[in-house]
Every structure is written in C-alpha cells, then in structure tokens.
Amino acid sequence: MLYCKNVQARTIVTEINLQVEETGERLDLYLSQHLSELSRSRIQQLIEQGHVLLNDEVCTSKKVSVKVGDRLSLEIPIAQPLELLAEDIPLDILFEDDSFLILNKPAGIVVHPAPGHPDGTLVNALLAHCPSLPGINGIQRPGIVHRLDKDTTGAIAIAKTEQAYQNLQAQLQAKTARREYLGVIFGAPKSDYGKIDQPIGRHPVDRKKMGIVPIEAGGRSAVTHWQVKERLGNYTLVHFQLETGRTHQIRVHSAYMGHPIVGDPLYSSKHSVGVNLPGQALHAWKLTLQHPLSLEWITVTAPPPRTFLKLVQILTSRTFT
C-alpha cells in the first residue's frame, strides 16, 4: 500500500509511506520500483541523508533487505535556499524550452562550485538565466544532469524542473541518451574502431586522478566506444561514444590504450603540438535525448571551439606537407 501526504514541516514537502508486500529486495531497489517519480540515485541520496525510516527508525543503508510487513517512510526535503550568487556570465545556448536547456560549455569554466571554485561557475551563470533553478538536484548542483570537466568543452544538459531532471537522469542510467565526443589523441591506433571496457575509480596514490581500478577494489563499470574519424600522421581525430559516464572516463580510457588525449595535463606526459590549448583536446560534440514531456528525440550538435579546430587544421597541414 502506498499513500502520500503533504507535510507542513519546515524541512519536508512530502512524506511517502509504504507497507511492504513482498520480500527479499534491497531497500533502494524496492523504493525505486514503487516510486517511479524518483530516480534510483535520488533515492540512494535520500537514504544516505537519513530521510528514510524502516519500521520507524532511520535507515542509512541502501543494501538492507525489506520483508513483508515492513513499514517504510520516505521524506523528501523542500528546496533549501541556494547560497550562491547569480552571475551575468554569457551562455552559448543550443536548445531551450520550459523543461531543460542544452549549452555549449567553453573551456576553463567549472560546472558547479567546489573547493577552490566558489564562484564563476556554470551554476552561477545559470542562476542568472533561470531564476527557478534553485532546489533541483540539491543546493550546489541545481539542475545539473551530467557534468563536463573544467577544460572539456561542448554540450551539457541542464534541467529546469524536477520532473525533467528525474527523466533525463533516468535516460542516462538506462543508456538511451547518446553522448558523443570528438578528441585528438597522440599516436595512431592500429584498428579503426574499438571498445574499452575497464572499470574506473579514484587513483590509489594521486587523489586528483582517476584510474583503472578493479570492481572489487572500488572501481565502477566504465565502457567507451571509439572510432577513428581522421588520421593525422602521428595524431588521430577520434569519435568517442559513452556507454557510461564516469569521472574523466574518456581521458582515462584513452591513456589506458596508450593514446592519451592531446593537451591532457593529468593523463599525458607527452610534448605539446604547437597550439596553445586551454587543456585537453576533448569536445562533447553531440547530445541526443528524448524530451521529458513530448517524448520527441532531440539531437543537438555543439560546434567545437576555435582552439580545437585550429589544432586539427595544423595537424592536417603537417600531414599533407
């Protein structure tokens, strides 16, 4: 049995109560199966934050198995005031409606506030553009459906409503959304295409880096498909497609196969190529999503930045001279 009620308490907007009628499921899985309006990751977040009661006691373990007759109560907090300043930072908008927008992120801008980057982020710019954004997906990351590294450019989706956020997140988790990248790598792969299926986790020594880490040691499944787009002598323009979305995934997988991304300050020790790059030559080129309301498929192409195009141009000229 499931029923919801509005709660007027200062910290809660909705309380959801369930009477378990089947047994053996993990807590997070059971809740995600019975609360379709919330993503499994959101449910896990609420569990970790102590917003789920199991038989009237706080339960912070998502792995607990529920039993027939168990009582579950889930509290969904109201949006908390956002202690971030809206900043008038120009946005390159590729698509926008009342549900979400897709931006072409430039290099050098951090997506959301973090230690060392309290302002000047994409979130600060979005708050000026979308006054209704606060509260969607938490205080520090309002509306952020997925992220791009500071110096990775290209298409990024931002939800403008909670419904759109949950829907777009579900598409990423179900792998129906399509994220395609362009990258310039060192060297010339022997094959024209391939698939890298190696788990990624925090590097055991250098905490600023990610690395190939076995699942049993804390790594998470990561799959990247790649295809040569153009061979440029001892460099290659590659089309990447993400099946998963781990931190630094393409950068780590490229280095793993012996062909790091040109200009990558973390995963490449190779020399420069004569172009003053702001960072790694990696660009989120295309993003394909199903609209949360109309269900129409939308594909947005983000034009690569001038530095990326200049790099390809120089390498092409070297190849044919």
Distances (CA, A) of 112 to 35, 137, 138, 234, 270: 28, 12, 11, 36, 30
Q: Which residues pair with 58 in a beta bridge?
A: 53
Residue 50, classified by CB atoms within 10 Å of its CB into exposed (0-12), middle (13-18) or buried (19+), is exposed
Helix (H, G, I), strand (E, B) or coil at 164: helix
Distances (CA, A) of 51 to 11, 15, 35, 59, 313: 11, 10, 15, 8, 54
Exactly one of 28, 70, 149, 151 is catalytic; name it.
Answer: 149
- Beta-carbon contacts of 277 under 8 Å, excluding residues fewer than 6 positions away, are 262, 263, 307, 311
149 counts as catalytic: yes
Strand (E) or helix (H) holding 48: helix 40-48
**Cα–Cα distance measured from residue 258 to residue 261, given in angstroms and rounded to the nearest whole number:** 10
Torsional sign, CA 242, 244, 248, 249: negative
Q: Which residues are catalytic?
A: 149
